[in-house]
Amino acid sequence: MKLLEIDNVTKRFGGLVALRKVSLYVERGEIVGLIGPNGAGKTTLFNVIAGTYKPEEGSIRFEGRDVTGWPPHKICKMGIARTFQTPKPFPNMTVYENVLAACLFSGAQKKVADVEQEITSILKRLGLEAKRNMPASKLTIYEQRMLEVARSLAIKPKLLLLDEVLAGLNPTETSQALNIVRELRSKDGITIVMIEHNMRAVMDVSDRVIVLHHGEKLAEGKPQEVTNDPEVIKVYLGGIYA
């Protein structure tokens, strides 16, 4: 079943066409990799899905419902959460308080004890429990990226948009983050779309890969199909998979 459907979406910034008639879908339960050169339109597409930008043309459907142009808070409460390429925690709030803010935003009526248990569970699975009382500004880049994921999980998303969650991580941290991504799908049933420049990682974890180039969809398919596509190799992968 298609959880997300994007149909002929175009987004312009003055004379710049950031997205041009992009159409794609995401099946419920998939992990989809979104790749392409810098400036290809990947983060712009996330911003359109999340409601930050309203497209000039086209439509976005989530669970069969047209959500085109909805404001971000309404999109979020529908079950679409996202992380940011540059982590954006509340720097002077503790790790716990950052996740608590997201938990309260979800709007669900919960007992204090249930909220505490929920946040503790999220922090443990993301390796942040020992840092729960630390200001977010004091975290390492890996920990800040995991805090982004933690805040997203607090709203209990059906679809999670990960924007370069592996950027700046060493091989050990990358492996840990990928294991978390796999677990979010296998144990929580969360559908994931991830923008990533770490090609070996994204090809390893994704069921399908979609390639954007100059704001247009260049290719899509299973990882092996995409890595063997001559046009994708030419404009993006180069010698990595040639």
Residue range 195-228, pLDDT digits in tens: 999 999 999 999 999 999 999 999 999 999 998 8
Q: Which two tokens stand for residue 7?
A: 């149909």
| Dist. CA 156–CA 106, nearest whole Å | 8
Domain boundaries, the chain: 2-237
**Does the pLDDT at position 149 exceed 50?**
yes
Mean pLDDT over 144-156 rounds to 95
Average per-residue pLDDT for the chain: 93
Q: Which two tokens stand for residue 21?
A: 């008639």
| Dist. CA 145–CA 237, nearest whole Å | 25
The pLDDT confidence band at residue 88, using thresholds 50, 70 and 90, is: confident
pTM summary value: 0.93
**Does the pLDDT at position 112 exceed 90?**
no
C-beta separation of 217 from 232 below 8 A: no
| Dist. CA 160–CA 8, nearest whole Å | 22
Residue range 19-35, pLDDT digits in tens: 999 999 999 999 999 99
**Does the pLDDT at position 130 exceed 80?**
yes
The pLDDT, as a whole number, for residue 110 is 66
The pLDDT, as a whole number, for residue 103 is 85
Q: Quick one: what percent of the chain has pLDDT higher than 90?
A: 83
The pLDDT confidence band at residue 183, using thresholds 50, 70 and 90, is: very high
Q: List the one residue out of 25, 185, 11, 165 whose CA is nearest residue 82.
A: 165
The pLDDT, as a whole number, for residue 242 is 45
Give one DSSP letter per residue of 151-198, joined into a string: HHHTT--SEEEEESTTTT--HHHHHHHHHHHHHHHHTT--EEEEE-S-
| Dist. CA 159–CA 6, nearest whole Å | 14
Fold of 2-237: Rossmann fold (3.40.50)
Tell me the sheet residues that pair with 33: 194, 209
| Dist. CA 186–CA 44, nearest whole Å | 28
State whether the Cα torsion 197-29-68-212 is positive or negative. Answer: positive
The pLDDT, as a whole number, for residue 237 is 73
